[in-house]
Amino acid sequence: MSDSTLDLKIAALGRVYRRVPLEKLVTWAMEGRIVAADQVCPAGTGQWRSVLEVPQLADSLPDGASRDASAEDDAAEIDAAEIDADQATQWTVKRARRRSEEAEMDMTPMIDVTFQLLIFFMLTNQLANPAPTLVPEAAHGRGVDAAGRQAIVVDEQGNYYAGDAIKPEALAPSLDSLLDEVRLNARAAEKPLDVVVSAHKRVKYARLRALVERLGSVSNLGKVLIGVEEKH
């Protein structure tokens, strides 16, 4: 079959293309638009033969050329129609798609984010819970409150405490030892050291007066304030 124009019957579509030049059919075969199941015949003769019987077309057919299965379903509803070769340019054939390989997840970004979060939590934990700082114990300053005042407490028995609370570690053995601590604190103070004396209501007046008078001999001492108990 060496005619220059042929009729082409697409088996899957049930369509007939009339008077198609052999050169165009060869191009269609190379593009996969024609498969082995299709037929051709000399234009207008109706003597259909397989495209494999035409050497030019058989040699041009690509391996594995096929059409979408949906085209075969449409063929049952479409009668053989005569379509001019110029309209055939809109016809396309879908090749069988190869099954894509399974996608693999790239874990690199996730690892980077994990390390960033780990570093962030480590830093925030250190800021929220700072390590304790060892501060050397002061040589002077026992009984000095945050306002820079010397606090002294006298309990019911007349004992002296260098501080604002009755604690065993704040107990002064004697009035002289208490005054020695007050002198050291006043000497270390940048400004005159105020003294606040809190005495129990049952402390004898003579003992409290003796304390106040002895404090008057301390250098760099400010005001001496006597704490009182408010009535409820």
Which pLDDT tens digit goes with each residue over 63-115? 645 344 334 434 333 343 444 545 544 554 444 455 555 567 778 888 888 98
- Does one domain contain both 86 and 154? no
- Domain end residue (candidates: 90, 106, 138): 90
Residue 192 lies in a domain: yes
103 or 39, which is more confident: 39
Structural domain boundaries, residue 222: 150-227
pLDDT band at 201 (very low <50, low <70, confident <90, very high): confident
Question: For helices 175-188 and 205-215, what crossing angle results, to 10°?
Answer: 40
Residue 108 lies in a domain: no
pTM of the prediction? 0.39
Kindly report the average pLDDT of the chain as a whole number: 78
Indicate the number of domains in the chain: 2
| Three-state helix/strand/coil letters over the chain | CCCCEEEEEECCCCEEEEEEEHHHHHHHHHHCCCCCCCEEEECCCCCCEEHHHCHHHHHHCCCCCCCCHHHHHHHCCCCCEEEEHHHHHHCCCCCCCCCCCCCCCCCHHHHHHHHHHHHHHHHHHHHHCCCCCCCCCCCCCCCECCCCCEEEEECCCCCEEECCCCCHHHEECCHHHHHHHHHHHHHHCCCCEEEEEEECCCCCHHHHHHHHHHHCCCCCEEEEEEECCCCC
37 or 132, which is more confident: 37
Residue 173 lies in a domain: yes
Residue 143 lies in a domain: no
Rg of the Cα atoms in the chain: 55
Residue 225 has pLDDT above 90, yes or no: no
- Domain end residue (candidates: 90, 121, 140): 90
Residue 147 has pLDDT above 60, yes or no: yes
Residue 198 lies in a domain: yes
Task: Provide the pLDDT for residue 128.
Answer: 65
Residue 168 lies in a domain: yes
Task: Provide the pLDDT for residue 102.
Answer: 55
pLDDT digits (tens, 9 = 90+) for 164-190: 889 999 899 999 999 999 999 999 888
Task: Provide the pLDDT for residue 141.
Answer: 67
pLDDT band at 38 (very low <50, low <70, confident <90, very high): very high
Residue 132 lies in a domain: no
- Domain end residue (candidates: 90, 106, 140): 90
Residue 204 lies in a domain: yes
207 or 1, which is more confident: 207
